[in-house]
Amino acid sequence: MVYASRFLNAPQGAPVSIDLSDIDGFTDLVGSFKDSESVDVLIHSPGGQPDATERIVNILRNNFREVHF
Mean pLDDT, the chain, integer: 81
Closest by CA to 53, choosing from 31, 6, 30, 21, is 21
pLDDT at 68: 93
CB neighbours of residue 39 within 10 Å: 18
- Domain total for the chain? 1
Give 54's pLDDT tier (boundaries 50, 70, 90): very high
pLDDT (average), residues 36-52:
86
CA 67 to each of CA 8, 10, 12, 15: distance values in angstroms, whole numbers, following the listed order = 27, 29, 33, 26
Q: 8, 5, 25: which is closest to 16 by C-alpha?
A: 5
Q: At residue 5, does pLDDT exceed 60?
A: no
- Please report the pLDDT score of residue 11 as a whole number: 66
Mean pLDDT of all residues in 31-48: 84
Q: Are strands 38-40 and 66-68 parallel, antiparallel or unpaired?
A: parallel
pLDDT of 51: 93
Residue 7, domain extent:
2-68
